[in-house]
Amino acid sequence: MLVVMQSHATEEQVREVCRKIEALGLRPHPIPGAQRTAIGITGNQGALEAGSLEEMPGVGEVIRVSKPYKLVSRDLKPDNTVVRFPNSHVSIGGKDVVVMAGPCSIESREQALTVAEQVAAAGAHFLRGGAYKPRTSPYSFQGLGEEGLKIMAEARERFGLLIVTEAVDNESLDLVEEYADMIQIGARNMQNFSLLKRAGRARKPVLLKRGMSATLEEFLMAAEYVMSEGNYNVVLCERGVRTFADHTRNTLDLSLIPAVQRLSHLPILVDPSHGTGKRNKVLPMARAAVAVGADGLIVEVHHDPDHALSDGPQSIVPEQFAVLMSEIAQIAAVLHRGVIAPVHSSTAIARETLRPAVAR
């Protein structure tokens, strides 16, 4: 059920409707939109009687939502969600395209700061990098844990990059929430429902990656889990699905982007690195992702990919990343979009200060 307030409804009228919904033992989710506020209602197992809500002052209409997802749906919010970050000009889901870049794993302070410096110089907005790695083999590098988060926080200080990093369980989510600007939920955890609920109680935006064999509906229902707990700052990410094709690691499903945009107001990014698994395919698929209308990219970049502790074969080098940034800006322009301004206009100064700190 969804209560659409009239465009001139007052804040007090919105609050009054929310109180009424609570009194019915349900949870209200007021979502302001460009034209009007809509209030999603969750907690009802079956159909709800609309009558008493419909008559309240300020209420436009009460709509029964037939889809299994409610809060992620465009029925609730016709205009696109824009996720903003405190003290930053960077946002996700607005007119311009956002770029997250960095190594698969944070391997050492030197490695992370070197890559961070170079992606910032090329115009990236976020540093990506795993401190907690969900690896297929228990004998593979598992990440530096909190030490990795501290290194990322240092990179933010030096280069002005925002930080996005994965939480693999509730314990790591506590720490990721403390250090990072955005909490990544990986493909392997897309249906880890207790983790999704915990992310829904976090105070930071969530980057939710599509599970390796998740349908569009399963993907949106995972986002619904996060939103149903009260965190409305969710960004989706297509990262490829498992198919019979073996020329790539995964099959990057770019048709998901317009399909999601039709059904949901949430922003969606594309990960051409995990989506292909091959360095030589990252740039073409990054171009295609922007052309298809994605709100941004998350890309693995490593200055020495042959010695990377994870995902070296799909990591591009900083010089290729700089080409990617310039090419996607040209493609975005065709769609009357741009790439968000770089986070650090004076990266040259940061580079000067970094030199003595990091031995090369």
254-293 footprint of ligand PEP as x/- string (CB under 6 A): -----------------x--x-------------------
Closer CB to ligand PEP, 53 or 202, in the complex:
202
Q: Report the sign of the C-alpha dihedral through residues 327, 328, 330, 334, in that order.
A: positive
Element of type H or E holding 127: strand 126-128
CB of 267 to Mn ion, least distance (A): 21
**SS3 category, 316:** strand
- Considering the complex, state which of residue 228 and residue 310 has its C-beta at the smaller distance from Mn ion: 310
Q: Is 130 in the site for ligand PEP (CB under 6 A)?
A: yes
Using the rule CB under 6 A, is 239 a contact of ligand PEP? yes
Closest CA to 94 of 343, 332, 285: 332
DSSP string across 200-230: HT-SS-EEEEPPTT--HHHHHHHHHHHHHTT
Binding string, residues 97-126; x marks residues near ligand PEP by CB under 6 A: -------x----------------------
104/151 with CB nearer Mn ion: 104
If one asks whether residue 187 binds ligand PEP (CB under 6 A), the answer comes out as yes
Are the CB atoms for 97 and 104 separated by under 8 Å?
A: no
Residue type (1 letter), 61: E
Integer CA distances (angstroms), 166 to 144, 178, 291, 299, in order? 12, 13, 27, 14
Q: 125 is in the binding site of which of ligand PEP, Mn ion, none (Cβ under 5 to 8 A by kind)?
A: none
Least distance from ligand PEP to the Cβ atom of residue 274, Å: 4
Check binding of 104 to Mn ion (CB under 5 A).
yes
How many positions of this chain bind ligand PEP (CB under 6 A)? 9
- Determine, following the binding rule CB under 5 A, whether residue 295 of this chain makes contact with Mn ion: no
CA 116/CA 111 separation, integer angstroms = 8
Min separation Cβ 250 and Mn ion, Å: 11
CB of residue 217 to ligand PEP, shortest distance in Å: 19
Show contacts with Mn ion in window 153-212 (CB under 5 A). Answer: none
Q: At what angle do helices 318-334 and 109-122 cross, to 10 degrees?
A: 30
The identity of residue 223, as a single letter, is A
Closer of 28 and 129 to ligand PEP (Cβ): 129
Contacts of 345 by beta carbon, 8 Å cutoff, 6+ apart: none
Identify which range of 13-21, 83-91, 113-121, 185-193 contacts ligand PEP by CB under 6 A.
Answer: 185-193
What number of residues does the chain have? 360
Q: CA 348, 352, 355, 356: dihedral to nearest 10 degrees?
A: -160
58 binds ligand PEP (CB under 6 A): no
Nearest to 223, CA basis, from 180, 266, 256: 266
Instruction: Determine, following the binding rule CB under 5 A, whether residue 311 of this chain makes contact with Mn ion.
Output: yes
Report the partner that residue 187 touches, choosing among ligand PEP, Mn ion, none (CB closer than 5 to 8 A by kind): ligand PEP
Total residues contacting Mn ion by CB under 5 A comes to 2
Q: Label the pairing between strands 162-166 and 206-209.
A: unpaired
If one asks whether residue 209 binds ligand PEP (CB under 6 A), the answer comes out as yes
> Which residue has 């369980």 as its token pair?
169
Q: Which residues here bind Mn ion, judged by CB under 5 A?
A: 104, 311
Question: What is the contact surface with ligand PEP in residues (CB under 6 A)?
Answer: 104, 130, 186-188, 209, 239, 271, 274
